[in-house]
Every structure is written in C-alpha cells, then in structure tokens.
Structure 1
Amino acid sequence: MNEERIHQLLGYLVNNTINAEDYEELMRYLEEATEDPALQSAIDRIWAELTPSTEQLRPDESEALYQQITGNARFVQQPIHIKRRWLSYAAVILLLLATGAGAYLWFTPSRTAPLAYRELTAPPGQRMQLKLADGSTVWLKAGSTLRYPASFTGNTRELYLHGEGYFDVIHRDNQPFLVHTGNVTTKVLGTAFNIQAYDQQLTVAVLNGKVSVAEGNTALGVIVANQLLEYHPQSKQVALRDTITGNMVAWTKGELILDNVTMEEAAVTIGKWYNVAIVFADPELKTSRFSFSFLEGANLEEVMTMICQLNGFSYHIEGNTITISKKKPLRRQPQR
C-alpha cells in the first residue's frame, strides 16, 4: 500500500468517517506490515497534524494504551495481531478509533484533539449558503448534505458532499481544499466550481481556477475554467467538455434551469428539489428531451403540469410518488 492511501485511511479514522471496508483494509495492512517507510511516513504526518510538536509516544505509554484499547474498536470482529515493532503507531491508531478525543486528551492533555465535524442538509425546495472557517463559501442544493470541520487544521481542508454543491474557495497554497464524494476526491487550491454527486454520475464544472479529480489513486482529469468533467462510477467512463454555461449554477440564485435534458434527468433534479420519487409508467418516456426553468418556491404541481404539457404526458401524485404516463387521447363524442 502506498503512503497516500495509508494517509487517507488514517485520515478517515481520525475524523471518525471510516467505514467497515476501509477499516478492514487498514487492519489487514497493519497485520502484515514490516518496517515499511511508507507506513512510518504516513503516521508521522497524521501525528504532526494532531500534535503541536513532533514528540513520540514513550514505550510505556504505548504498552498501556495498547492493552487498554485493543478489542474496543467499532468494526473489530477478530483479535488484531499487530507486529510489536509497530506498537507505538498501532496504539495511536487504535486509540483514535476506539476511544476518540476524550481519552486521547485524558492521556496526553497537552495534545490537540481530532477535528470536530458538523453536518448540514438543505431542506426540500431550498438552497443553503454556508461560510466555512477559512472564509470559503458553499451553496448547497435542496436535499444535499455536507460534512465539514468547525475549523481547518493540518495540511488539508477536507469536506464530504452528497448531492450538489457550489464552492467558492479561498486560495491557500499550503492547504489544498478537498471535496470527497464517495470514492472520488476533487482537489483545489482556490477556485469556484460546482459538483453534482449522485449515485449514477459525478459532474464537476469549473467556473474559474483549476481542480484535479481522482478516484483513489487513479487520476480522472484536471479541469480548468469553463470545463466540465463527467464520470460514471459503474462504467468508469470519463467525459471532458470544453464549454459550460451559467445555467449549471443558476440554482445558487434561486432558479433551476433544465436545458435540453431528458425526462429521466429532470426527474432526478425535481425529485431531489422537492423530496419526491418520480417514476415512469413506460420506460420510453425517460428519453423525451425538453427545456424548462422555474424559480425557487414554485408549486410542485404547477411545475409538473407545465413539463408534462411540453412533452405530451400526464402525471399522477400519490403520497410522495409521482407517476408519469402517456397522455390518453381524447375520445370523440359520437355524432347524433
């Protein structure tokens, strides 16, 4: 495992965002680790981010911590057998995972606690604006969620997005800004860009500046101003477009613009905005294309009526589900 992947996994662990799969990957690696310089370097970086000095844990501290916390971790299914030569590092890792900031400060009161993350979700039909601790600004689209730290310390500024967000990032050469969307990370120094991160597709559009996009250790592309990158996680296909329009970020000003989209694409946007599920009685209806715009606060039924009229469809609302069907032809009355 290379140093960047080790550092990423340790970062997830420190921030309490590690999942079971990543945890197992880290533990398997630690079980097999010998004196790997990449491991030592990655942990030294984490340690430096958490502490005001470069001091190491003393052997007696390491032994006490190891005995105290092995077996208390959230995802442990079997005993962890880490080589004793890595005991001091293992103690730090396991302590951060198992007992969190409180026990960490209890044992070493002069050291800094891990970052405290907050979570913000934009309610249906509304966008939200957030000012981050570094002065950067984020707009969240309706139904989208952002996890962000109360303050930025260490070598990076890292956030986690599900849904769609527009970022206007303050420039810092020595502290890059990272937005994690599932397994994909978008990295910038200072720029303005929009991210759509849903299950089937990731879209990153840059208005000014430059960003890099990667999935794990695989680079997906570098995007500059007025470029757009689309990535399909299932097929691993990447597409780069050289021009984008302001329509993509009009939602930050309260206007949703559907520009030559399919009904299927529109269903995703409208469903997220109004927190409804839109289904199709006939799959062929999904491919119909149209253009339409509406303002924040527009009534859902009015929006659906206009869209269905444009496409020659009808709709039915039941609870939180909208079903779109072909419009039935009018029956002619028999002549008398």
Structure 2
Amino acid sequence: MCIERVNCFDFRDICITEFDEIYEKFGSCSTPLSKRPRVSTKGVSGTYADLFWRSNRLNGVLECTVPCDSWAFHLPHPDEIALSQFIAHPEGARHTMLGSPSDSLIWHSVYDVSDMALVVRYELIQKLLSESELDSLFSSSTIGKRRDMDIKELRLISRFFYELLQRCVSDVEGFSRVAFDECVSDGLAQLTQLTLRSAYVSPKIINRERILTRALDYVRQNYRTEITVRDLVDYAHTTSRNLQIVFKNQFGVSPLQYLRQYRLIKFHKYLAELGSVTEAASSSGLRHMGRLSDQYRLLFGEKPGDYVSRLRESSFSPENSCCCGHCLV
C-alpha cells in the first residue's frame, strides 16, 4: 500500500521573488522587490492543511490571500520576542489574527522575527466545531484580539505547530499526510478554542473601554482648561485606581502624563498656525512655561522657538514642512 507523503520544503536565504513563487497559490505579496530582502522559509502541505514558517531580514507588511474554501491563522514563533511582537500587533479589520475564506491575512513582519501561518481547509474545521462554534469563529475573524489571548496557552500551541513543522521537514519519509493532518487537527482544536475565548469580551473589558472613551473625550474637549485626575474620574464615573490602570494598559503612562503629551502635540500644531510660543502655549492649555522648551524638544527634536524660526524662513507651508508624525493626530 502506498502512503501519500507530506510535501515539504526548506529554503534558506532565498530572494523574495523566489519566496513569492513558493506562495503563489496564496497570492502572497511583500515589500517592493527592488529591496531584494532575504528570507528563510519552511513549509508542509497535507491533505487538509498547509503550515508555513518564515524568518526574514526586513520590516514590512505581508499579505496572504486566503483560498475560498479555507481559513488562515497567523501564529507566532514560540520564542519570547516573537510572542511579544504578536501580542503587540496592530489590531483592526485588516490586521486580524484569523483570515476568513477569500479574505486577506495581513500582518507586520518585524526584522529577524519568525512567524507562522496555518491555512486549513473548511472541511477539517467542520469536523472539529459545531455550527454555533463555526458562527462564533467567523465573528472572531474581526473581533478577536491578540491582547486578549492567554499567552501561556498561545506559547504551547505555537510550540506544538513549530515542532510539528520541524519534524516533518527533517523526517519527510516518517510523516504521511494522514499523520500530519491528525496532528494538525489536535493543534487546531486547541487553537480554535483559544481564538473563540479571545473574542469573548468580558464585562470588565467593556467597562474599561467605556472609562477610556469618556476620559479621552473629556481631554479633547477641555485640554485648554485646567484638568485634574478628579475631573477625569468624575466624568468617567470610575475610581482613580481604575483610571490609572486603564491608561497604563493602553498607553503605558498615567492620565496626567498622557494629558501633558496631548497638549504638547496641540502646542506644536498651534506654533505653526499662530507663530508665537506664548499664544500657542495658552491655546493648548500649557500654563507652566519653565520646562516647556525641554519637554517639547524631547518630543519633537528641537526647541519651539527654533521651529517657529524655521517656519518663518522657509518658503513652504507648515503642513509640508513638518514630518514629526504627530500632526495627523
């Protein structure tokens, strides 16, 4: 009896054009070809699933078009750096960790950080999940968030798939498609349940999002006036401790530190519009001028007076002269 073997490949330091040829059936695309980045990639193709690993020497955005009969999961390499990058990955409709049929799975590729993609035929997922779970999984493709995943369980699942891929590539003769698909089924059952749980938004998370939304609304409406933590607490209907936790989790700073930075960004924009440090400071709610110059330089790389002088000397508009990255805020 002939056992159908898995189809494996293992290429090191190949050109991105060759890489795209390997991924041609998924319509893979990457950074401009003129950059000629080098990548290392491995892959295994079974009957119901394809598992890919890649590491590269580029920072860019990768896109994989999911076949109409499949789902695609973006997975990190199980090491700490890759896991951290995965959790910190941008969220949004086009940056989800789960790609639905005929959609695109898009993620940022970080220099020298490995990641994986698992493409699974719908037929296999149907065997693992009930109809209600399938509906929930479909919803998860847009609402599931990496930051809500259990990091310990994610590490175990990632290690499982990475070790499976390594075994297949190093021992092609020892793995049949049946054996590979069975292993994928085991890992996929854990992965789908983890994904479904990450899409569940607990009342605590909803409450924290409400607190953050109200606090930010208050800042945007009242940044020109004096704002205290008590003002934010009262407006957000929360406690000082909860407010601190929400801002630390979202921005890594306290509410007052966030307010200071927000005012500095407004101050920068008013400098271009008003051409006066004093007027710009007053319009942005900055009352204490003592450390303003140093704080501004720390954020924008020059003193406010130097920025105003440069604008006056230039022959082009403030919008075209500024490349700070904050003026679009």
Which TM-score bucket, shorter chain as reference? under 0.3
Of Structure 1 and Structure 2, the greater helix share is in 2
Task: Determine which structure has greater relative contact order: mean sequence separation of CA pairs < 8 Å that are 6+ residues apart, divided by chain length.
Answer: 2
TM-score, reference length from structure 1: 0.25
Of Structure 1 and Structure 2, the greater strand share is in 1
TM-score, reference length from structure 2: 0.25
